Every structure is written in C-alpha cells, then in structure tokens.
Structure 1
Amino acid sequence: MDVAALAARLKALAADLPLPALDTADQCLEAAQAELKEASRESNAEIGLRKLGAARERLDSARVRLTEAAAAIDDYLDGIGAGAAAAPTAAAPKANAVQPPQVDPRRWWTDRVNELCDRTGAADPQQVPPTRLFNELLKAAGDGNAEAYCKRLRDAGPRTGVKLPGLAWPLVRTLAAEHLGRTPTARDVPGLRDQCADKVRSLVPKAEPDHIGAALASACTLGRKGTDDENDAARTAAMGPALVAALHRLSKSERRA
C-alpha cells in the first residue's frame, strides 16, 4: 500500500472515531443522573445512581482513550508527510465534485401547476388559509375561469396546496352519493370519471382520465388507491376542487331535470 492510500485510510478511520457520539451520550447520562438525584430524595431505595455514575466514569475513560488515539493518528500522519498541511491537496477532488442541485419546493410547485393547467406565469406567493383557497378555487371552477383557477393554485404554493385533498375528498364523496342515490363504490368510479372528465380537464388539461379515476377512487372508496402517481401532490391538489365543481354541476343538472 502506498503512502497516499495509507494516509487516506487513516484519515477516514480518525474521522469515524465516535467522539461526538460519546459527548452526546454523556449529556444524556448527566441529565438522567440529575433526575435520579431528584427522585432519590423521596425514596430510600437504590435507584441506579451508583451504576449511572460508574457508567459516566467509563464513558469519560473511553473518551480520553479515543482522544489519545486520534492524536496518535495525527502524529503518525505528520511523520509520513501526510498531516494537516497536505490535507487540502487530498481534499481538492471533492471540492470539484458536482453536487446535485437542491430542489426548491415552491419553484417545483409553480412549474408543475403551470404544466398541469397548460399555462405559464410566475407565482405571486400568497399566504392564505386552506379553506379560503379551497373556496376561491371552487368559485373559479364554478365560473369556468381556468386562468384564475391556475393562478390561485400556483400562488398558494405547496404548503397550503397539499391540504386541498383533505377538504375536497369528503365533498366529492358526498356529491357522488347524492348523484348516485347511494354510497359510491369502486364500481361507480368509471362512470363518475366519464361524467366529470370534461369539466375537470377544462380546468386542468393535463389531468388524464386515469388520473381523474384514481382521484375519484381515493375519495369515494375511503382512501383505496387508484392508478395515479401517489407522489404527484400538485396533480392531486389540482383535481380536488375541479372534481367538486364537476359533481356539483351534475347534481344541479339532475335537480333541474
């Protein structure tokens, strides 16, 4: 083994020495010891104070030994010319390594909502309660205002947007039951999907029939999953108020008939 490889292995070994973990453990033991001391004032029984004290002594001894081992490794690395002075050269390749970009949740939400609604535009971040957002989306959906629907959803951001299904699904289930005259089941999902698809897609054009069916299945069968991608929070949120509006329109049409 050459000197560089040996130095790299020794540095990795030194970095893995669990000194921080021992410090954390000692803090936990110290806190436990303080609580036991308080409890012992009201009890004559041996409740482990001596054993806890002995454990802290052993922990302290282990910490000293680890510190000595780390110092010995540093001394050896200095002796072979691979100590702290040489470290920057060895670490240079890591500094040049390509790091994966951090995902900005709001940016992702904006792009995804624009894609689903087949529109463009930057978000104007708004902090609104989920119920207010839900009502605003229902109004836009009822008016057939796809532009306003997209804007409200886009501006809300992921933190509020992901709460929409929790507000939408009970209404979807209630309206579906009103339309069917009974509690909806999985067998009813294809028919409901076909009746709602045009209205939903007028607001969320990139919502495919399978996605609409999966959302209906989740709402009407009390959480049983359909074939939709469960990780697409933006799509699930976008379809909730649109489905409520579509089912509400079905119920109104039936009452008029």
Structure 2
Amino acid sequence: MDVAALAGSLKALADDLPAPALDTADQYFEAAQAELKEASRESTAEIGLHRLGAARERLDAARTRLGEARTAIGDYLDAIGAGAGSAASAPAPRAGAGPKPAPVDPRAWWTDRVNELCDRTGAAEPQRVPPTRLFNELLKAAADGNAEAYCKRLRDAGPETGVKMPGLAWPLVRTLAAEHLGRTPTGRDAAALRDKCTDKVRSLVPGAEPDHIGAALASACTLGRGDDAGDAARTAALGPVLVAALHRLSKTERKA
C-alpha cells in the first residue's frame, strides 16, 4: 500500500470514530439524570443516580480516548507528510456506508416498550399528569386487575413521568414485604417474594420474566442496592403492580 492510500485509509478511519454518537448518548444520559434527580425529591429510595453518574463518567472517558486517537492519527499523517494538505488523495467514501441512524425518540421507544411488556397494541395519547396521580391510577388498575387500563395509563404518561414510578413504589414494596416477613427484608428474600407475586404481576405485565420480577424486588428490599439493571420502562411497569401484589398477599394472610 502506498503512502497516499495509507493516508486516505487512516483519514477514513478517523472520520468513522463515533464521537457524535457518544455526544448524543451523553445528552440522553444527562436528560435521564435530570429526571431522576427530580424523582429523588419525592422519595427517599436510592433510584440509581450514582449508577447513571458512573456511566456518564465512563462515557466521558471513552470520548476522551477517541479524541486522543483522532489526534494521534492526525499527528502520524503529518509526520509522514500526508496531513491535511493531501486531502485530495483520500479515497471516495465506502459504498456500503449509509446515512447515520436518526436519534431515538424517547416517547416512541416508551410506547413500543410498554406495549411489548403489557402484550398490548395502540398509540399513546400523551398526557401530563403528576407522578403521584399516575402512581395512584396504576395502583387502582392493578388492584382491579384491569390490564388494559394499566397499560394505557403507563403508556400515555410517557417516560418523563413514568420513570418516577420506582421512586414511589420501592418504599411501599419494602414496607409491605416487611409486614409479610415480620422483619426487615433483604435481597435474599427476593426469590420467595417473587414466587408469591409472579402470577399477579404477569397478569398485568406478561412481558416481565420471573428473573426481572426478582431483580426488582431485590432492588426495592435493599433500597436500590440490588442487581436490577433492567430498562426504565420495565422497572416503571413493575413498581405499582408489585405494590398491589404484596398488598393483596398481606390481605389474604390476614384473612387466613
């Protein structure tokens, strides 16, 4: 390979480094962090802010490394006399390179994901409701076993309000679990609680697997120190229905 061809290949490589994609990802992380900070004001539960902060730090480090790589490529091209002045020798763009994918629309993603989790279809009818009102509406739908209403309320609320559900649900889940167990719950109790709640939960959120339910319970019982690394829509969908399931379990035991 001659120097001109090598220079062209290296320039193409530098141009393909995904710095813009990392910038877009950081914007989404920043927006999510702002939403979580607002949600944390309404709950004492740990809702993952430190994890999101750590993710942004790793993303920033990756962005720095990409910048260093691009600079190193430029320095090397300058050193061999194939720097910016030899742009004419760069090869034409690869035929297979298509347009950059459009940014993900958070609301469209939320609608599709909630429909998938609830095994429903339908377009969202966006509504701005306070988080506590949405939470109470979801609790009522869950208590009534109204899967259609549960899906619709969560879908219409969108990610801005929906992501706040775990912050409201987890303290109640932990309290109800403590009532059921007769002591403070720990992560080790998640499996037993999961087995008693799964049928009720999956009657409203059939897309939630038992492992997802167990991870959510572990996160609630340990105030966010569990292993729940699921997506935001799934965690939001599980919160209110877990409260309803544990409340129903407690009522059944009191009658017995």
TM-score when scaled to structure 2?
Answer: 0.64
- CA shift, 1:133, in A, is 0.4
Q: What amino acid is aligned across from residue 206 of structure 1 in structure 2?
A: G
- How far, CA to CA, are the matches of 1:180 and 1:231 in structure 2? 26
Query: What SS does structure 2 have at the residue aligned with 1:127?
Result: coil
- CA shift, 1:187, in A, is 2.3
- How far, CA to CA, are the matches of 2:145 and 2:92 in structure 1? 58
| Residue of structure 1 in register with 2:210 after alignment | 209
After superposition, residues 217-232 of structure 1 pair within 5 angstroms as 217-226=218-227, 228=228, 230-232=229-231
Given the alignment of the two structures, is residue 252 of structure 1 paired with residue 251 of structure 2, yes or no? Answer: yes
Structure 1 consecutive aligned stretches of length 4 or more whose deviation exceeds 3 Å: 90-94
Alpha carbons 2:205, 2:237 under 8 Å: kept:
yes
| Residue of structure 2 in register with 1:150 after alignment | 151
Query: What SS does structure 1 have at the residue aligned with 2:154?
Result: helix
- How far, CA to CA, are the matches of 1:231 and 1:93 in structure 2? 39
Aligned length: 187
- How far, CA to CA, are the matches of 1:122 and 1:224 in structure 2? 35
Query: What SS does structure 2 have at the residue aligned with 1:194?
Result: helix
Q: Which runs of 5+ in 1 are unaligned?
A: 12-75
Q: Deviations over 1:61-96 (max 9, x none)?
A: xxxxxxxxxxxxxxx97xxxx99xx9xxx89859x9
Q: What amino acid is aligned across from residue 233 of structure 2 in structure 1?
A: A
Q: Deviations over 1:10-36 (max 9, x none)?
A: x9xxxxxxxxxxxxxxxxxxxxxxxxx
Alpha carbons 2:188, 2:218 under 8 Å: kept:
no
Q: Deviations over 1:155-202 (max 9, x none)?
A: 000111001000000000000001111111122111100000000000
- How far, CA to CA, are the matches of 1:157 and 1:179 in structure 2? 33
- How far, CA to CA, are the matches of 2:155 and 2:92 in structure 1? 42
Bigger drift between 137-146 and 247-256 goes to 247-256
Q: What amino acid is aligned across from residue 220 of structure 1 in structure 2?
A: C
Residues 187, 147 of structure 1: alpha-carbon distance in 2 compared, 3 angstrom cutoff? same
State the superposition RMSD in angstroms: 3.0
Q: What amino acid is aligned across from residue 241 of structure 1 in structure 2?
A: P
Q: What amino acid is aligned across from residue 224 of structure 2 in structure 1?
A: G
| Residue of structure 2 in register with 1:52 after alignment | none
Higher relative contact order structure (alpha carbons within 8 Å, sequence separation ≥ 6): 2
TM-score when scaled to structure 1?
Answer: 0.63
Q: Percent identity between the aligned chains?
A: 81
| Residue of structure 2 in register with 1:30 after alignment | none
| Residue of structure 1 in register with 2:105 after alignment | 104
After superposition, residues 106-145 of structure 1 pair within 5 angstroms as 106-145=107-146
Q: Which runs of 5+ in 2 are unaligned?
A: 12-83
Alpha carbons 2:166, 2:236 under 8 Å: kept:
yes
- How far, CA to CA, are the matches of 1:209 and 1:147 in structure 2? 21
| Residue of structure 1 in register with 2:192 after alignment | 191
